[in-house]
Every structure is written in structure tokens, then in C-alpha cells.
Structure 1
Amino acid sequence: MAGVNKVILLGRLGADPEVRSLPSGSKVTTFNIATSEVYNNKDGQRVEQTEWHRIELWDNLANIAEQYLHKGDSVYVEGKIRTEEYTDKDNISRRTTKIRGTSMTLVSTKGGGTDNDGGAASSPAPQAQRPAPARTPAPTPDFTNNAGSDDSDDLPF
């Protein structure tokens, strides 16, 4: 049976990304992002619940993250859940869960604005380079004032 392993996150960086270069020549960047959910509990009190996610980006995405991401920035990440087992220094077997990012987009800087090219510090998954879609301007809606006409029967709703 086939399955789907896809994660979509939009959150803020808790610290600047950590970058490592491996002996193989690959580069990996890791960082944590926080996502928050706000709801009212059964007593009607507002509750904010924050989850932290460990993100791991490789090669081209790692380079982009290293260059553009900073603590406090808002980032959109798509990826896959990866669980790894390891033995710590006390010889205890442990598990950790990470998100292996396949695409990433800088949404805004911690100052609230976007980067210089309109917030598009993104890259598709390295294994699936897709051509960028052609951008066509959106049609301008006609907001002319037809105060003298009675077109109430022509409303689309």
C-alpha cells in the first residue's frame, strides 16, 4: 500500500540557521520554526499552543536558507517527516523527528516586510527542477460607477 508523507508548515525561526558542510561536499542547514494555534478552551479562556519543528534543508535549499533566513523571519516549508534513531553519550537509544524540507519560501523578515525580490526566496525540490511559470498580469476589475443604471438583475449572486 502506498502512502503520503507530506508536511506543510508556516512559522517563525527561533534562531539563525546552523550550516554544516559535509566531507562529501554536501551542505545541510538546520533550524527550528515555531507554529502557533490559538483557541478557546472549555472555560472560554483564550489559549495559545506553540509547537516547535526541526527543519533540515540540503544542498541548494541549504545555500538559500543560509543566505536569506534569520531569527524571527516567517518561512513556509514543505517537506517530509523523518525519524532518526541514535545513541547518546550515555549509551541510551533515542529518537528524534525532523522535517526534511523539499521547498522553502521566505514569507517575511522579522521586521514584517518581505525581501527585495517580493518575498520569493524559494527553491523547488532539488531533485525536481521545474521551470518557472510565466507571469501574466491579473486583469484589472472594472469598478466604474453605474449609479444611474438599474442592473440589479445582472448581479452574479
Structure 2
Amino acid sequence: MNKLRNKVQLIGNVGERPEITELDNNHKVARLSLATNAHYKNAKGEKVKRTEWHTLIAWGKVAEIVERLVTKGQELAIEGKLTYRTYEDKENVKRQVTQIVISEILLLGKAKKNQDEDENAL
């Protein structure tokens, strides 16, 4: 049962091109957003689609995989753990951020065409 603690599994689409940062020790960190969708009927019987956005962080080898293979619109399955961190913004207001640190990643589908790539092709 210990392996079930703090385990997150999501399937969704990448919102923006992943942001890759190389650290001083030659390790990489990737930051990306993932959209997941839920469909349900409201009280009026109308179909509703609700999108949730998740902030994902990948370190080391997983970050290198993200850098090489993940693009905007790509469908992913990820497994990781939920983490929280706090910081002070420019106005010295304390903020809390919820993130998912990826331990496993699976590329599921082809990336949706990126508008930036379409414009560069012209």
C-alpha cells in the first residue's frame, strides 16, 4: 500500500510548448501545463465540458524526454506525485502553488497542429 500514497495519474493534452531550464549542474527541469476534460450533464440536462489545468514538473531524464518529444497539443498519460510550494511574489504576498512532479510519461497520440508551426511553414 505504500506505493499508493500520493500518486497522481492523468491523461490530457499539453497546453503550451514545454519550458525547459538547464540548471548549473547540467540537470534539466521541464515545466508544462496539461488540460484534462470532464463531460457531464447539468441540472437542465445539457452536456457540459469542464477543463481542468494542471502544472507539471519533470526533472532529469524525464525532463530530457519532454524536451525531445513533447509538443503543444500532444496527448499524454503521466504518473507522478502532488507537491506544494510557497513563495512570495513581487508585492511580498505569500502564494501557494500546486504541481505534479512527473515520474512516468507516456506519449499517447499525435500532437495537434501548432499554429506557430503552421505560420512558420508559410
Same fold (TM over 0.5): yes
Aligned to 1:95: 96
- Structure (1 or 2) with the greater helix fraction: 2
Cα deviation 1:121-146 (Å, max 9, x = unaligned): xxxxxxxxxxxxxxxxxxxxxxxxxx
One-letter amino acid matched to 2:49: E
Q: Deviations over 1:60-79 (max 9, x none)?
A: 00000100000010000000
Structure 1 residue runs of 4 or more that deviate by more than 2 Å after TM superposition = none
TM-score of the pair, normalised by structure 1 = 0.68
Q: Which residue of 2 aligns with 1:125?
A: none
Tell me how far 1:26 sits from its aligned partner. 1.6
Summarize the alignment of residues 99-114 of structure 1 with structure 2, pairs less than 5 Å apart.
99-111=100-112
Matched, 1:59 2:54: no
* Stretches of structure 2 lacking an aligned partner (at least 5 in a row): 114-122
The CA RMSD measured in Å over matched residues stands at: 1.5
- Is 2:82 the counterpart of 1:81? yes
- Flag the structure with more relative contact order, 1 or 2, with Cα contacts below 8 A and sequence separation at least 6: 2
> % of aligned pairs identical?
34
- Unpaired runs of 5+ residues, structure 1, are 113-157
- TM-score scaled by length of structure 2: 0.87
What is the alpha-carbon distance in structure 1 between the residues aligned to residue 87 and residue 66 of structure 2?
26
What is the distance in 1 between the residues matched to 2:7 and 2:91?
Answer: 34
